[in-house]
Structure 1
Amino acid sequence: MRLKSAIWVSAYIRRCMVEGAYAVVRRRGAEEAGAIFVKIDRLDGTADLYGPAPQSSFDEPHPGDRAFMACLKAQPRPNEEAEKYLARQIDFDPDIWLVEVEDPQGRHFLDRVVG
């Protein structure tokens, strides 16, 4: 069984803070199962962006944990590119969550990043 999005986001923000990175929820999505995107602002005008990995990247039919993948072909990219990508995602699905992490080292603290 997968954690509700709201609980996962809360735990993720705590983890970022413990690791010494500042993290905030920029956009609240659906409490139960909204897609979660994580933007890593490197504080130099560039960012990394991670979003939900497609179901085809899972070995099991209904995984209990969340997997993420890089949304931009090459990372880091200029902040504007990440913001344009996010705007398209919000137009497509207004129930997404957006967590922004400020970390000059680009650490994402995501347990499972695929592809």
Structure 2
Amino acid sequence: MRLRTDIFVSALMRRVFARGDFAAVEAKGAEEAGAVFVRQVFRDGTESLYAPAPQSFFGENDSNRQRLFETRLERTETTAVAEAITRERRFDSDLWVVSIETDDLGDLLEFAGAEPEDDGFFRR
């Protein structure tokens, strides 16, 4: 069974702070099953946006166990990211937006199509 969204976001934020970076919840959505969008803020003022990966990336047994992300926008202007989030919120008002200020996400998120690293965190 997949973690509740509020627990996933809380754990993500703790991991960010443990690395010495900063994170904030910009928009709080449904606590149990809200979609999570991650806004990565770089030191040069650009941003990237990561969204939940489409269901086609999940196997039959994986759909309820892990959260996979895909890159929607990469190192672009802040306004472009804000507009994309606004469009998404029109379709899903229960989504979460987490802003992370770091130049390197490292192993904070698992991306669709990437080989998973076995660090024992957020795994089956």
**TM-score when normalising by structure 1:** 0.90
Equivalent residue for 1:17? 17
Equivalent residue for 2:66? 65
Equivalent residue for 1:8? 8
Q: Find the aligned partners of 1:7 and 1:107 in 2 and give their Cα distance.
A: 19
CA apart distance, 1:58: 1.2
Higher relative contact order (CA 8 A, sep 6+): 1
Unaligned runs of 5+ in 2: 114-124
CA apart distance, 1:86: 0.3
Alignment pair present for 1:102 and 2:122 = no
Q: Number of paired residues?
A: 112
> Quick check: 1:37–1:50 contact (8 Å CA) kept in 2?
yes
Equivalent residue for 1:31? 31
> Quick check: 1:35–1:96 contact (8 Å CA) kept in 2?
yes
> Quick check: 2:40–2:47 contact (8 Å CA) kept in 1?
yes
SS at match of 2:79: helix
CA deviation string 1:66-102 (max 9, x = no partner): 1000012xx1111111111000011111100000011
Identity of aligned residues (%): 40
Unaligned runs of 5+ in 1: none
SS at match of 1:29: coil
Equivalent residue for 1:40? 40
> Cα–Cα, structure 1 residues 112 and 60, in superposed 2: closer, same or farther, change >3 Å?
farther
CA apart distance, 1:20: 1.4
SS at match of 2:37: strand
- Which letter maps to 1:34? G
> Superposition RMSD on alpha carbons, in Å?
1.4
- Which letter maps to 2:31? E
**TM-score when normalising by structure 2:** 0.84
